[in-house]
Amino acid sequence: MTTTRRKFLTTGALAAGATTLAAPAVHAQSPIKWRLQTYAGPALAEHVIKPAIEAFNTIADGQMEIELYFADQLVPTSELFRAMQKGTIDAVQSDDDSMASPTEVTVFGGYFPFALRYSLDVPALFNHYGLKEIWEEEYAKVGVKHISAGSWDPCNFATKKPVTSLEDLKGLRIFTFPTAGRFLARFGVVPVTLPWEDVEVALQTGELDGIAWSGITEDYTVGWADVTDYFLTNNISGAWIGHFFANMERWNAVPANLQQLLQVCFDSSHYYRQHWYWAGEARLRVEDTKLQLTSIPDAEWDTVEAEAQKFWDEIAAESETKAKVVEIIKKYNANMRAAGRPYRYG
């Protein structure tokens, strides 16, 4: 009754073959599909988001695919948060402020006046000073995954008439972000809210006198340099804080390896912007001539920065979470000033 090796190989192979033949066919799973809308129009999206999405789709190799939509393409930018929270869209690239996020940290998204001098201040604050954990906690409360934060360009004025003093700002109708507008109103600016795609026409028709939405790189990239004449070198922030977000249920349904891939690709987007904006902000001031540069004297501009400190304290008084973020920003800037050049000077 001993089974020989020859017999085992023969009968075993037959049995294995029978098992294989009897097994049901396995079909490849359909790819996970996400719809992501960015705050950016098509020309700007070519730099701030499209390469990262294309890289993700390539590397995901059929396991997952992200469909990219531009500013206001599916929903208005001001409705991005609600649409993502409800699952109408799966993910968003935006700042907290312009997408009307109902969180305690919304006021700090976009341009929080004078909190940042350089683009590197954003990842430093989020990854080394605790802002990342605060944002994750605040968004988890409302069913949204905060994936990552990154920096964009500074906030300068591009205007139809020259601005060389604070007096020149009074009465100017300026397209800007909610919190930036709230602060600039102290100096006589009239903040105007419009769909992003309508800004260029509004500048041409005189509905707007200027914008405080970006640095000079975006002014040239999206065409605003063609419909404004002057660029104010003073800025109210050295970098815009933007983020990637996702509906929490959709995020949790994505396998861990693809979640990691999303993180890596979005981080690559953050890195690209670091050098694209940094190079563009200097090169376009020096080498291109569409916009004439103007400046407000430092002594006068110092009063704007001093007013920002009062603004911070007013925001901090609104809630415990806001107070915590303001305290972190103050601590960070104190360290930068104490460190001296190249971190802070002047």
Q: Of 114, 96, 104, whose CA–CA distance to 329 is shortest?
A: 114
Q: Are 159 and 210 within 8 A, CB to CB?
A: yes
Sheet harboring 32-38: ordered strands across?
64-69, 32-38, 91-94, 241-247, 144-151
Please determine whether the domains at 32-153+239-283 and 155-238+291-339 fall in the same fold group of CATH. Answer: yes
The string of DSSP codes covering 237-304 is ES--EEEEEEEHHHHHTS-HHHHHHHHHHHHHHHHHHHHHHHHHHHHHHHH--SSEEE---HHHHHHH
Residues 6+ apart with CB under 8 A from 328: 125, 129, 130, 131
pLDDT of 336 reads 97
How large is the greatest C-alpha to C-alpha distance in the chain, in angstroms?
A: 106
Q: Where are the domains of the chain?
A: 32-153+239-283, 155-238+291-339
Long-range Cβ contact pairs of 326-333 (< 8 A, separation 24 or more): 328/125, 328/129, 328/130, 328/131, 329/112, 329/115, 329/125, 331/129, 332/121, 332/124, 332/125, 332/129, 333/115
pLDDT of 30 reads 84
pLDDT of 28 reads 54
The H or E element that residue 115 is part of is none
Q: In this structure, what are the phi and psi dihedrals at residue 4, rounded to the nearest 5 degrees? A: -80, 160
How many CB atoms are located within 10 Å of the residue 239 CB? 27
Q: Are 211 and 169 within 8 A, CB to CB?
A: no
Work out the angle at residue 283's Cα, subtended by the Cα atoms of residues 282 and 287, and round it to the nearest 5 degrees. Answer: 130
Q: Are 323 and 316 within 8 A, CB to CB?
A: yes
Arch. (CATH architecture) of 155-238+291-339: 3-Layer(aba) Sandwich (3.40)
Q: Are 221 and 244 within 8 A, CB to CB?
A: no
Q: Which residues of the chain have pLDDT under 50?
A: 1-27
Q: How many residues does the chain have?
A: 346
pLDDT of 7 reads 41
Q: Does domain 32-153+239-283 have CATH number 3.40.190.170?
A: yes
What residues form DSSP beta bridges with 173?
190
pLDDT of 82 reads 97
Residues 6+ apart with CB under 8 A from 107: 96, 97, 179, 315, 322
pLDDT of 1 reads 38
User: What pairing do the DSSP bridges indicate for beta strands 173-176 and 144-151?
Assistant: unpaired
pLDDT 10s digits, 301-325: 999 999 999 999 999 999 999 999 9
